[in-house]
A and B are shown apart, each in its own frame.
Chain A
Amino acid sequence: MKVLASYSIKGGVGKTTAAANLARLAAGEGRRVLLWDLDPQGGATYLFRVRPKVKGGGEALVRRRRELVDVVKASDFDNLDLLPSDFSYRHLDLVFDGQNKPTRRLGRLLKDLSEEYDVVVLDCAPSVSLVSENIVRAADLLLVPLLPSPLSVRTLNQLEGFIANVKGKSPGVLAFLSMVDRRRKLHRDLVEELPRRHPGLARSVIPVASAVEQMGVRRAPLVEWAPGSDAARAFGELWQEAVNRW
């Protein structure tokens, strides 16, 4: 089982869009996929039309009063299940903090799923916290969306510093440019320049596109209903890069 985390320190950068589309692509290849919406805002849960509710909240899961598999919901797509968001996830830091080895709780929980799933995709809330440490320790690969702005490089550096400081084996990092508008010169320049400064950056670039915005209206991954779109193709390429990287 491979654990992929769509993670960023910043919000609004296309994390949920990437998580939802990559999860759908993985499932389409016949892999058994679980998408865990760890963000209390529940964007991914909304996209898949699932009720953002976990009985007993995040605490019941972390304290193992409730098994993860018991709260899983099937999505409308083959091989793709969702572990829904719950508003209580905003307190996950505190729940983890009260446990033994608090930075390894998430990884331990995910181990229970290794027979059931081939891929787990974590859609994480934007933060630098104990939850983030758990994610870094549990993931095999971090997918990091970057907005095309000079500040992004700084954000990526910060993130790499953070990962280096977390104990244990470091996950791979696949940062990619997200919400790129090729009509804008600054974006075009950054698409050219950033890979030179960061050779590990993904070759795939996710464009800003109306299809991406429409996902919230259609409430389904765009690779499902607009498979021929530029954005869907870009997610397809990103998925291949992720597979090659883990």
Chain B
Amino acid sequence: MTRDLTVDDHDVDVPLDAIVTTLSARAEPRQRTQRTWYDTFDWRLHRAGLLLEHQVRADHGWLALSELSGRRIVRVPTGETGETGETGTISVETLPEGAIRERVTALTGIRALLPRTSVEGPVTMLAALDREEKTVARVAVEGPLVVDGGGPLPVRLRVEALRGYDKEARRVVRKLAAVPGLRSAEEPLFGAACHARGLRPGEYRSKPEARFEPATSAGDALAVLLGELLEIMRENVDGTLRQLDTEFLHDLRVAVRRSRSAMKAAKGVFDEEERTAYAAELKWMGDVTTPGRDLDVYLLGFDQMVARATDPEALEPFRKLLTRNCRKAHTALNRALRSKRFARLADGWSSELARQDLPGPEAGTPIARFADARLSNSWRRVRKRGTAITETSPAEALHDLRKRCKDLRYLLEFFGSLYDETAHREVVRELKRLQDNLGAFQDAESQRYMVLQYAEELAATSAPARTLLAMGRLEAHLERRQEAARAEFADRWSRFDRGRNRRLFNSMVAAR
């Protein structure tokens, strides 16, 4: 249990001596403190009910993991700078071994821990003692505090209960609440520090969340949808530029892909000239983000990919080349993201599309009718391409089907709020099964291509024959994986294309 109390007025001084006497507390000298809370961009710790904090006080540093209620789970001494790497983030490699690393990395996965909010100011630590001079509660008198990138926070008193001494902590809170000028704080310091810089802990989206009323016009609905997608793109630009973790670029790319699908669906809704111009710019965004993302994926999966190789060490020159090229690809990507062209895309879109002074013929169509038609079209396109695939079809045919499936999936996501939830969920699940197979096929295809391309590049240098042979074996392994996916396709397709699913889709659209 922790309870925070705060002063009524920014200018009021806390009667520290009186408090020390009232609580029979021992006071430490006043010191400066800096507290920084870390979480992933998508708040994985907060969503799991945890707070990770780096504290510095009087030249000592600690990393502390606690529950949202403030109950501390563990605190580990660290350096003054914490455990951050070059980018100011914490990663698995920089976390100290032990309970914090175990708990935290199980939640964060590949996402980096970023400093989310930070406060700085004076602190006096008090220990409320019992008759045996045992500490039964701690009180931190903190502030006034300055929030990094936010306003000041008035002095607050944080009462920290120690396990087994809740009753004593409640007594301390009661005594403090009776001190004139002190009142219960509305939220703990972490929440107050987040709000002071306009952050809402836990708030994150990787896909649009807009829900539509059936009668809303297609013009309005698509403007909202594209606006939301643009926001998601923008939210991920900084993390992509700074390469905080690989998920920023992933989310940015997916937002671009979704935007492309939405823009394609928007034919007839916006001014056609403007729509095609943006569609072209989005394609450009898709293209410039591809090499960086591909290389991120290869490197993320490298260990797993080479784990089955008979001579994994021989593949080190390959990894080095991938790493070097990944750096180059991100440099090129950063140039694009800092370009005027990207700025125009990011700024112009929201203002121009929202304006809608040149609406297309379908701008006024109710979104429900519009969604029915677009989904039905997309469903037909998937069926047409899927049915045409035979054992001898080239890889491009499967790749093309995969892209059509993505279009359908995104449309299902965009307009999900208009349909029966159960039917919609079932359609998505069936589609996902097919997409998983197509994804496995395409991943193996692109990895094989990448291995071949890099083998040629390495062969042109003086790479050892051992490396090239290992890459050859790797390519053969990927080919087997691709063949396995290909062999499975017919089954997956016939499952997806069965009468039950067609009826399910038709009833979903008809039942709305």
Residues of A within 8 A of B (CB): 28-32, 48-51, 71-74, 76, 78-79, 81, 118, 219
- Chain B 57-86, CB-CB to A under 8 Å as 1, else 0, gives 000001000000000011111000000000
Interface size on B, residues (CB 8 A): 20
Whether the pair B133, A49 counts as a contact (CB closer than 8 A) is yes
Q: Show 9 residue pairs from A and B whose CB-CB distance is below 8 angstroms, ordered by the A residue.
A: A29-B98, A30-B74, A30-B98, A30-B100, A51-B132, A71-B164, A73-B162, A73-B163, A76-B127
Whether the pair B165, A49 counts as a contact (CB closer than 8 A) is no
B321 at the interface (CB under 8 A from A): no
Contact residues in B for A73 (Cβ distance below 8 Å): 162-165
Q: Please give me the residue from chain B that is nearest to A71 by CB atom.
A: B164
Whether the pair B99, A78 counts as a contact (CB closer than 8 A) is no
User: What's the nearest-Cβ distance from chain A to residue B96, in Å?
Assistant: 6
B417 at the interface (CB under 8 A from A): no
User: What's the nearest-Cβ distance from chain B to residue A177, in Å?
Assistant: 30
Q: Apart from A31-B98, A31-B99, A32-B99, what 14 extra A-B contacts exist at CB < 8 Å?
A: A28-B77, A29-B98, A32-B73, A48-B134, A49-B132, A50-B134, A71-B164, A73-B162, A74-B163, A78-B75, A79-B74, A81-B163, A81-B164, A219-B132
> Which has the most chain B C-beta neighbours within 10 Å: A49, A74, A118?
A74
Contact residues in A for B73 (Cβ distance below 8 Å): 32
User: What's the nearest-Cβ distance from chain B to residue A66, in Å?
Assistant: 13
User: What's the nearest-Cβ distance from chain A to residue B267, in Å?
Assistant: 56
Whether the pair A74, B99 counts as a contact (CB closer than 8 A) is no
User: What's the nearest-Cβ distance from chain B to residue A7, in Å?
Assistant: 25
Contact residues in B for A219 (Cβ distance below 8 Å): 132-133
User: What's the nearest-Cβ distance from chain B to residue A50, in Å?
Assistant: 6
Q: Please give me the residue from chain B that is nearest to A78 by CB atom.
A: B75
CA separation between A28 and B78, bound complex, in Å? 11
B135 at the interface (CB under 8 A from A): yes
Closest 10 CB pairs of A and B: A30-B76, A73-B164, A74-B162, A49-B134, A74-B163, A49-B132, A30-B98, A78-B75, A76-B135, A32-B74
- Chain B 146-171, CB-CB to A under 8 Å as 1, else 0, gives 00000000000000001111000000
User: What's the nearest-Cβ distance from chain A to residue B136, in Å?
Assistant: 9
Contact residues in B for A48 (Cβ distance below 8 Å): 134
User: What's the nearest-Cβ distance from chain B to residue A44, in Å?
Assistant: 13
User: What's the nearest-Cβ distance from chain A to residue B285, in Å?
Assistant: 44
Contact residues in B for A32 (Cβ distance below 8 Å): 73-74, 99
Whether the pair B164, A74 counts as a contact (CB closer than 8 A) is yes
B163 contact from A30, A51, A72, A78, Cβ within 8 A: A72
> Which has the most chain A C-beta neighbours within 10 Å: B74, B77, B127, B130?
B74
Q: Please give me the residue from chain B that is nearest to A84 by CB atom.
A: B164
Q: A74-B162, A74-B163, A74-B164 are in contact. Are A30 and B77 (CB under 8 A)?
A: yes
Contact residues in B for A71 (Cβ distance below 8 Å): 164
User: What's the nearest-Cβ distance from chain A to residue B447, in Å?
Assistant: 40
B99 contact from A28, A72, A76, A118, Cβ within 8 A: A118
Whether the pair B98, A118 counts as a contact (CB closer than 8 A) is yes
> Which has the most chain A C-beta neighbours within 10 Å: B75, B77, B134?
B134
User: What's the nearest-Cβ distance from chain B to residue A245, in Å?
Assistant: 18
CA separation between A50 and B132, bound complex, in Å? 8
Q: Please give me the residue from chain B that is nearest to A48 by CB atom.
A: B134
CA separation between A89 and B493, bound complex, in Å? 69
- Considering only residues 97-135 of chain B, those with a C-beta below 8 Å from chain A are 98-100, 127, 130, 132-135
User: What's the nearest-Cβ distance from chain B to residue A124, in Å?
Assistant: 22
CA separation between A76 and B138, bound complex, in Å? 10
CA separation between A219 and B98, bound complex, in Å? 28
Contact residues in A for B164 (Cβ distance below 8 Å): 71-74, 81
Contact residues in A for B162 (Cβ distance below 8 Å): 73-74
Contact residues in A for B133 (Cβ distance below 8 Å): 49, 219
